[in-house]
Structure 1
Amino acid sequence: MAEAASRERSDALKNFTLFSYSLPAIPISALGLPLVVHLPPFYAKEMGLGLALVGFLFMIARFWDVFTDPVLGILSDKFETRWGRRRHWIVLSVPILMLSAYMIFLPSGEVNGVYLMFWMFILYVGWTLLTISHLSWGAELTPAYYERSRVHGAREIALILGMVFVLTLPVFAHLIFPEESEPHAVTLMGLFIIIMLPLTVAVAVFGVKERKTPPPQHVPWKQAVKLLATSKPLQIILAVDLISGISGGIVASLFIFLASDALKLGSASDAMLLVYFISGVTFIPLIMILSRKFGKHKSVAFSALFSGATLPLILLIPEGNVPMAMACWIALGVNMGAGPFLFRSIMADVADHDAVQSGQQRTGLFYSLLTMTNKVGHAVAIGIAYAALDLIGFQAGGENSPEVIAGLKAVYVWPAFIIALACAYLIWRFPIDETKQLENRRILEARALDVAEAAIGSRTAATVDPRPTGAPAD
């Protein structure tokens, strides 16, 4: 343990490095949250596309990432420039995201299903470029077990801050435009994203250098499928991330309908989300302390069980009871920040474990798979959730019977409750803990040293003998 602590101190990253690296996570989350929470209701109700069509289109757009995530992950691993392996892709993503965000958040002209689908496809290409490259860069900033938790903890704080910033915009929109706040809120969100993208990316790419790592090898898709079939740690973390994505997608995509139509919270709905994410930011340091005491995977299990115990309390909230609803969402926020940053930190350990087993560095592929599973989970969630609402006869912004409202609450609570228990069960016996990660790191460092020594020996052997031609041998 003393050796591990010594290694951690020597590998500690400067706070400015963590700050600069994590900044692009602000526009990442400022974009990601409206894609799940605000844009589907906006296009279903304000743009008049309807629940069933919007749920289907957002689901298909997410499934587009099933193709783009692995492809762009391999590209991120393969092509290196003088900037390194990650930063040029992050820079490239900025104009793609700025244009597509403008078209989606500030739509003009005839807005139909084709319009929405086209610009969603373009937006997800840019978002995948940014998120995969940023995640892979974070995994490569340090090889140390707990330093990776610091990296992804800092990133998670920035993600939640981005959500907090973007959630203040509907509050302002409601104050300024009380009768038509939703369209103006979406416009303000789009402008915030367009402004923050170039600013935060500039600080990150110029303020943080990439650590030199061995060049990853191209992994054929068949080999990636084989990897999924043979790596138990990878199977576990991807399965937990997938079903967590389904749970998160259901509760996020239905939140506005639950708050406004079922709980009758009115203008307090936006403040509820804001408090929820502030709670998430507040409790991340506590989750990091727990991860040091109990390990990352058991901390995920504890947070999932806490979430499962809290979710049914939503069914007890009377209509219009803002204080009770606020207390419930503060409790739910405790778990909100835990899973995402711990999943990403655990995946860095899984990538090291794979490097020990295979001799290949495939960090980009691993993070592309992690990003893909979460997006697929959200895709399935919004498709199922909106189809379920359409099936029970829910009318967005209209009059709904008590039976329909009860159905809305059931769709919101019980799938997420079951998934929370499943996550805790699956992750509890995860095979890579601190001891195993330290062992993997020793092996990788020894291999790197052997490669360096072999390279020095090869250069020495290739040196021309300085003796004159014809001189006698010793």
Structure 2
Amino acid sequence: MFGTSIPITMIKGSLILFYVDLLGMDVRVYGVVMIAYAIIDALDNPVLGFLSDRTRTRWGRRRPWLLVGAPVLAVGMIALFTVPESLDGTGLVVWFATFAILCEAADSMINANYGALLPELFPRERQRAVANALRQGFQLLALVVSLALTPWLTTSVFGTEHSTEGFTITAILYGVLACAVILYMALGIREDPRAAQASRSPFLATVRAILSNPRFWQIGVVSACYLSAMGLVLTGVQLYVRYSLGLPVAYALYLQGVVILATVGFLAVWARVVRRRGAPFTWRLALALLALGFVPLYFAHNLLTAILAGLCVGVGYGGMLASNDLIIARVLDEDTAVHGAHREGMFLAAFGFFGRLAGVISGVALASLGYLFGYYSGDDPGAQAGAAWRAYVCLYPMALAALGAGLSMFITVPANRRDLSPEAVAPSS
């Protein structure tokens, strides 16, 4: 989780600042590319998941895909933040779209396989909750590195507030680090051999089973609300600091760093709540608290009040990290119990469709900043740039999280079927 999170977090957290605010790409053009990115991402996810489920090699089902995806993602990220000086206009858009989509495909390849290992290797929910808390803790550590440190590294250590050199150097460092971590861990993992012995489900039959499962749609939509809300925060926080708080981008280090580190503590508390009250209760409560957390962030007017408000968001965010993947894993368990086939990769890839809707929502939200507030790019920010990014980082996410919280109250979450099965055993180590 540490290795997979570093590159994709830098990509999501710095693309708007890099291409729109520094290179001057029109925010509407950027939004169109991100919508296309999300559509392609949603289409290739099920295919990659299906291929993963059907893979049978001496090295396992998931590991070969991780070994291929890691270097591709690293190279794509470095190219994304290494734009030739001669490029502008259409050439800049083509470069951006090409490497953004390459990174998307590599990220989908990695996460369809990595995500499938959680329910496969950790069948019992208590055991799974501990494993999930650990991996989410490493994700938060990756956020400290690639989200909180990035504004400082790119604008103060390797570059300046108004140059792009720092992004190139930082991308190279992150790419090498992430690739090394993913390869090292993938080479050391031992997959459950029983999963490879299951029958291979045909593609169309698997698609029909997923699309006809009402829990897939219900839980997927709520997950999309949560992921889209946090996606907006992730992509807009640096410009929120610059325009809404009136501070240098490097100050995002303090806001993001404090909130992420505090979320580690919140995650530990939420993991206990999961063990005592169960994943569904935790999931619903965390969604409601996440929505409420955006209210004080909207009214923050300086770094201190933004940090305090960010801690409120961190409470709900920690709860979602502790519970959301466990809810999705229950759907996978139910499918395995009912149909007798291990197709976690395909199912998770299908759920990834909802996560990828965050890209569409981000693109629409960005385009709205121009029409509603007059912000089009760093070259043409308009007179209401502060209000624009306050809406993008606070109001839009609050509405999405509130929608998800409301919908979650009407959803029946399936029981953990593997908790009831005598065949559920601990993974090999």
TM over 0.5: yes
What secondary structure sits across from 1:445 in the alignment? coil
Residue in 1 aligned with 2:423? 445
CA deviations 1:296-321 (Å, max 9, x no partner) are 12212111111222212123223xx2
Equivalent residue for 1:159, pick from 139, 142, 149: 139
Cα contact 1:65–1:128 (8 A) shared by 2: yes
- Structure 2 residue aligned with 1:230: 212
Shift of 1:229: 4.4
Residue-by-residue CA offset, 1:437-474 (whole Å, 9 max, x unaligned):
2x55545839x9xxxxxxxxxxxxxxxxxxxxxxxxxx
The alignment status of 1:148 with 2:128, answered yes or no, reads yes
Task: Flag the 1:54–1:132 CA change in 2: closer, same or farther, 3 A.
Answer: same
Distance 1:198 1:335, change over 3 A: same
1:271 counterpart letter in structure 2:
Y
Asked if structure 1 preserves the Cα contact closer than 8 Å seen for 2:70 and 2:183, the reply is no
Decide which moves more: 401-410 or 298-307.
Answer: 401-410
Partner of 1:250 in structure 2? 232
Aligned to 2:400: 419
SS at match of 1:160: helix
> Could you list the runs of 5+ residues in structure 2 that have no partner in the other structure?
none
1:189 to 170, 177, 182: 170
Q: CA deviation at 1:110?
A: 3.9
Contact 1:79 1:85 in 2 (8 A): yes
Q: 1:50 aligned to 26, 36, 60, which one?
A: 26
- The match for 2:294 is 311
Aligned to 2:113: 133
Classify 1:229/1:100 alpha carbon distance in 2 versus 1 (closer, same or farther; 3 Å): closer
1:222-268 per-residue CA deviation (whole Å, 9 max, x = no partner) reads 43453344323322221111122222222222222222112213242
Identify the residue that residue 347 of structure 1 maps to in structure 2.
328
How many angstroms apart in 1 are the aligned matches of 2:339 and 2:110?
27
Q: Is the Cα contact below 8 Å between 1:245 and 1:374 reproduced in 2?
A: yes
Partner of 1:273: 256
Q: C-alpha distance in 2, partners of 1:164/1:27?
A: 13
Is the 8 Å Cα contact of residues 154 and 160 (structure 2) preserved in structure 1?
no
**CA distance 1:88–1:404, shift in 2 (3 Å):** closer
Quote the Cα distance in structure 2 between the aligned partners of 1:143 and 1:297: 17
Corresponding residue for residue 259 of structure 1: 241
Question: One-letter code of the match for 2:233?
Answer: V
The answer for the alignment partner of 1:301 in structure 2 is 284
Instruction: Tell me, yes or no, if the aligned pair for 1:356 and 1:443 is still in contact at 8 Å.
Output: no
Determine what percentage of the aligned residue pairs are the same residue: 19
Q: Does the Cα contact within 8 Å between 1:27 and 1:193 map onto a contact in 2?
A: no
Partners of 2:276 and 2:43 in 1: CA distance: 39
For residues 277 and 300 of structure 1, do their structure 2 counterparts lie closer, same or farther at Cα, with a shift above 3 Å needed? same
Shift of 1:74: 0.7
TM-fit CA distance, 1:196:
1.4
| Cα distance in 2, alignment partners of residues 365 and 348 from structure 1 | 13
Is the Cα–Cα contact under 8 Å of residues 270 and 282 in structure 2 kept in the other structure? yes
How far apart in 2 are the matches of 1:201 and 1:327? Answer: 34
Check conservation: 1:298, 1:427, Cα contact below 8 A. Answer: no
> How far off its partner does 1:285 sit?
0.8
- Counterpart CA distance in 1 for 2:136 and 2:364 is 28
Q: Which residue of 2 aligns with 1:84?
A: 60
- How many angstroms apart in 2 are the aligned matches of 1:32 and 1:88? 20
The SS at the match of 1:81 is coil
Shift of 1:94: 2.1
Pick aligned residue for 2:308 from 318, 327, 333 = 327
Q: Say whether residues 1:70 and 2:58 are aligned partners.
A: no
TM-superposed CA distance for 1:359, in Å, is 2.3
Q: Does 1:240 align with 2:222?
A: yes
Match of 1:201 in 2: 182
Partner of 2:192: 211
Offset at 1:121?
A: 2.0
Report deviation, 1:380: 1.5
Quote the Cα distance in structure 1 between the aligned partners of 2:298 and 2:116.
40
Give the aligned residue type for 2:290: S
Q: Which has the higher contact order (CA 8 A, sep 6+)?
A: 2
The two structures have a TM-score, normalised by structure 1, of 0.81
Conserved 8 A contact 1:170-1:185: no
The one-letter code sitting in structure 2 at the alignment partner of 1:445 is: E
Give aligned pairs, total: 417
TM-score for both structures, normalised by structure 2: 0.89
- 8 Å Cα contact 2:78/2:171 also seen in 1: yes
Which residue among 385, 389, 407 is the counterpart of 2:365?
385
Distance 1:175 1:95 in 2: 28
After superposition, the C-alpha distances for 1:31-72 in whole angstroms (9 at most, x for unaligned) are 222222211221112223221111221221222111211001
1:27 corresponding residue in structure 2? 3
Aligned residue type for 1:159: Q
The Cα offsets for residues 194-245 of structure 1, whole Å up to 9 and x where unpaired, read as 2113321233123321122333544455434533443233222211111222
Which 5+ residue runs of structure 1 have no aligned equivalent? 1-24, 449-474
